[in-house]
Chains A and B, each alone.
Chain A
Amino acid sequence: MSDASDAVRRTRSVVRAPQSFVAGLGLVLLGMFGLWAASDLPRGTLGAMGPGMLPHWVAIGVAACGSVLAVTGLAREGAGLQTTGLRGPLTVVLAILAFAITIRPFALGSVASPGLGLIVAGPLAVIIGGYATPEARFRELLILALLLTAGCMLLFGDLLNLPIPIFPTALIEAASGTIPSRVMLRLAAGALALAGLGLLALERRSTRRSRTDVAPHAMTT
């Protein structure tokens, strides 16, 4: 992400404000897409407006705004395009997708993902997401993931009773009848928290020995 700074590129071409010009074109495309998407809906009359009336005119409005914006981008001097790194957006999207797919069984066409519950989806999101910045350190993220997941399991699953799957569906089926789900939840959360705290203690000790400066993990629940 070395290019993440707000570099302003000055172009000497016809386009004098690339930011407005591209933004305007984007709006025109969006408006045209809206027009197309709403084209099969009956528009009705003013007295009895159909479902297509408002989308149709709003889409035209969006496209009109876009074309004016694009024209000003040609006519007036203005800001250039901002460069952006791909690492941040891609990793964050990946992390959210990982959570969405693993939290409960999710079918996409003929392929279905196994429902793994919060206990897997949570740490997955934290650890993958953490790599959105080049400063990421695996150990640190692992500790954060363990402690946060334990906290969230207790908060959302136990305390608030939200209908969010905590464990893998396979595990729930296997364990049904043997252990009450509440007990299992608390045990698992306890185990995660212990593991997290243990790792944290280990890390603290090793850093003290090597005397490297590590930021405190004060935020973990």
Chain B
Amino acid sequence: MTDLLANLGLGFAVALSLQNVTLCFLGCLVGTLIGVLPGVGPIATIAMLLPITFGLDPVGALIMLAGIYYGAQYGGSTTAILVNIPGEATSVVTTLDGHQMARQGRAGVALGIAAIGSFFAGTVATLLIAALGAPLTRLALIFGPAEYFALMVMGLAFAVVLAHGSVLKAVAMILVGILFATVGTDLETGQERMTFGFGFLTDGVDFSVLAMGLFGVAEILRNLDQTETREIARARIGRLLPSWADLRQAAPSALRGTAIGSILGILPGNGAVLGPFAAYTIEKRLARDPSRFGRGAIEGVAGPESANNAGAQTAFIPLLTLGIPPNAVMALMVGAMTIHGIVPGPGVMTKNPNLFWGMIASMWIGNLMLLVINLPLVGIWVRLLKVPYRLMFPAILMFCSIGIYSINAQPTDVMLIAAFGVFGYGLIKFGFEPAPLLLGFVLGKLMEEYLRRALTLSRGDALVFLERPVSAVLFLVTFTILAAALLPSLRRSRDAVFTEA
């Protein structure tokens, strides 16, 4: 306990330096901005801004990038409530009751409860990271290659189960991602794989290029297909602070949402996205009068909003302790860390305590800032929503091009984002989700490395994964959840979680 306090003290000392506070603020501001704007997500933005952080010190750079990520969760709810369009994928559920509240003239209260719930969830998640950091790091140190491999397989299995839609399509996407990851020079033998003699493929496909194509460019193409209907709630926003009665009604939901979001966020495999859906479903089940949901129930805003923020933050746990990115944004963080010469994993906490604890402390400070950025400034964000998409996407296009070019100064990288953009657009058109592909791509490289190492150590005996207790348990979990996802009864309830919302 005293250790924890001392560590948090160190963290706050780092995070409260003038430079880091400024960077944290900038990150939160940019995060809110892209959260508010539908069609620009944190993945594309962080990929775009990666080159900007080259000149910063690693702590500041990661504080800023983290701020963008959780800031986007706050901003996304503003759009969901006022315009009935989810600003982010995680705020889809908020549109249901949040927008209804806005229609009833309670937009301010909805925004207020969303922000307060998020702040509460953020605080809890910050403490959770701080508390779990040390034990998990110790656990990670006894992990060998077999355990790491098993853990990543489990992560991918979770990604399959937690993805929307067809299980088969999600599995296919993950495999395609792994296949893409194998392009480039083989690390162990130095042999070029599937490069077809193209020089620019020698180093493989850059992760930010793939992310920008699938999530930046493809998103633009998808949005261009839909004619815009943006109807900002005409009614006044009204008072922002919820009344006592509102707070009392929302508090249990916020608590449950925080718990659900935190747990799902830790799971490798993009659990953070499922958090709000699960929270909404549970709130509806528990409510005395479920028919109020969808008609402006305050619990339907408090629960999911707390869940998405908690999940966004606990997603840092696997990254910081095990070095395994649970989702695409965290994978970009890996990229940012490697650029600065930091190897993500259990070593971060011992070798770079400044970075580890500074980042955690900055999250709490960032959450506090976001409260200020979001509530009083909501008028500015509403005006931003009036910018028509026909002006927004050329700007995004240009920023994407500049951002990607600046990473490696390769025109071929810029061309590749166009190619992956069209590819991603095709995937969407055929009902595939690009998120599992990206996760497969990220984990693919690590998985191959650990698989090879584990099998070399065991002299080619594949049973090693079942002989070592930890990896055997992890594989057991993997098979159980995969089997469960394929069972008809569970499949139906899994679909229900997504469709009900």
Interface residues, chain A, CB within 8 Å of chain B?
1, 4, 19-20, 22-23, 26-27, 30, 34, 37-38, 41-42, 45-52, 54-55, 58-59, 61-62, 65-66, 68-69, 72, 79, 82, 84-85, 88-89, 92-93, 95-97, 99-101, 103-104, 106, 118, 121-122, 125-127, 129-130, 132-133, 135-136, 140-141, 144-145, 148-149, 152, 156, 160-164, 215-220
Contact = CB atoms under 8 A, between A and B. Distances in A.
Contacts of B193: 38, 41, 51-52, 55
A156 B278 CA distance: 42
A156 B401 CA distance: 12
B188 interface: yes
Contact of B402 (A65, A164, A220): A164
B224 A47 contact: no
B206 interface: no
B410 to A, nearest CB: 9
Nearest to B189: A51
26 contacts: A4-B226, A20-B431, A26-B430, A46-B460, A47-B455, A47-B456, A48-B456, A54-B178, A58-B175, A68-B168, A69-B168, A69-B172, A79-B431, A88-B225, A103-B405, A126-B397, A126-B398, A130-B391, A130-B393, A130-B394, A133-B224, A133-B390, A162-B406, A164-B405, A164-B406, A219-B387
A22 B397 contact: no
A82 B172 CA distance: 20
Interface string B164-186: 00101101100110110010001
B176 to A, nearest CB: 6
B220 A218 contact: no
A154 to B, nearest CB: 13
Nearest to B432: A23
B235 interface: no
Given A62-B176, A126-B395, A218-B386, 16 more contacts: A1-B224, A23-B169, A23-B431, A23-B432, A37-B194, A55-B182, A58-B182, A95-B394, A104-B409, A118-B402, A152-B399, A156-B402, A156-B406, A162-B51, A164-B409, A215-B386
Given A41-B193, A125-B398, A126-B397, A55 B415 contact: no
A34 B444 CA distance: 15
Contact of B225 (A84, A129, A218): A84
B contact face: mostly helix, strand, loop, or mixed: helix
A80 to B, nearest CB: 11
B467 interface: no
Given A69-B168, A129-B397, A140 B391 contact: yes
Nearest to A95: B397
Interface in B396-423: 397-402, 405-406, 409, 411-412, 414-415, 417-418, 421-422
A93 B51 contact: no
Nearest to A161: B55
Given A99-B401, A152-B398, A89 B179 contact: no
A138 B386 CA distance: 20
B175 A106 contact: no
A128 B414 CA distance: 16
B384 A219 contact: yes
Contact of B406 (A46, A66, A163, A220): A163
B455 A144 contact: no
A92 B220 contact: yes
B191 A160 contact: no
Which 6 A-B residue pairings sit nearest by Cβ, starting from the closest? A47-B460, A100-B414, A51-B186, A46-B460, A65-B172, A96-B418
A118 B402 CA distance: 8
A155 to B, nearest CB: 9
B452 interface: yes
Which interface class (under 10, 10 to 19, 20 to 34, 35 or more) fits B? 35 or more
Given A47-B460, A58-B178, A89-B422, A218 B52 contact: no
B462 interface: yes
B346 to A, nearest CB: 25
Contacts of B244: none
A188 B88 CA distance: 37
Contact of B388 (A95, A99, A215): A215
A218 B168 contact: no
Contact of A129 (B178, B393, B406, B452): B393
A154 B290 CA distance: 54
Contacts of B397: 92, 95-96, 125-126, 129
B460 A219 contact: no
Interface string B202-230: 00000000000000010011001111000
Contacts of A79: 431
Contacts of B182: 38, 54-55, 58
A54 B462 CA distance: 14
Nearest to A38: B194
Given A54-B182, A69-B172, A89-B221, A129 B394 contact: yes
